[in-house]
Amino acid sequence: MFLIDSWKYMMKELLASRFVELHEIDEKEVVQRGAWKIVSLDVPHQNGLAYRLEVKGKIFVYSGDMGYVSAFADFSKGADVVAIECSYPDKKSVRGTHLCPEDVGKIAKIGMWKRIVLTHLYPVCEGKENDMIATLQKFTKAEILVGYDYLSFRI
């Protein structure tokens, strides 16, 4: 009930209930709504969760903050798109429980992702995005994008 309790104000203050039905799911719980299938995975970070959404043969995986965990590769196996945090530009810069391109690349190689969207880049990454992509390309042939607000694409 962590999220539901933490975000109740959104229902009232932001009128989110008009647009969103909140249903908190536990790790590996499978939720099906119509054609949608949603599964979550605990990831290393305070209350960290990743989500795998499947619909009509397409797979989208999202991770918020997380540290390296090999289970994420199996969880995200064969995904069409993985939106994954990449807070630091290289291994030597990593502080706390976060990822860098090398970590993302190792997971991507096992997961065989088709497209990667790097998210949650810290300011230390500014101007280093091309180097980050080049590092990732050593591990995977997936299309690699650096995420930004309002980025959209078709799966």
Give the type of residue at 80: D
Compute mean pLDDT per 10 residues along the chain, 155 residues long, and list them. Answer: 55 63 74 90 86 96 93 96 97 94 97 97 97 98 95 89
**Residue 124 carries which DSSP code?**
G
What pLDDT does residue 31 have? 85
**What are the φ/ψ torsions at residue 72 (nearest 5 degrees)?**
-65, -30
**What is the C-alpha to C-alpha distance for residues 94 and 38, in angstroms, rounded to an integer?**
30
What pLDDT does residue 48 have? 83
Assign 109 to helix, strand or coil: helix
- pTM value? 0.85
Q: Give the N- to C-terminal CA distance of the chain in Å, as an integer.
A: 32
**What is the C-alpha to C-alpha distance for residues 32 and 30, in angstroms, rounded to an integer?**
7
What pLDDT does residue 33 have? 86
What pLDDT does residue 37 have? 93
What pLDDT does residue 15 have? 64
**What is the C-alpha to C-alpha distance for residues 88 and 9, in angstroms, rounded to an integer?**
32
Which residues partner with 81 through β-bridges?
60
- Domains in the chain, start-ordered, CATH in brackets? 27-146 (3.60.15.10)
What pLDDT does residue 1 have? 43
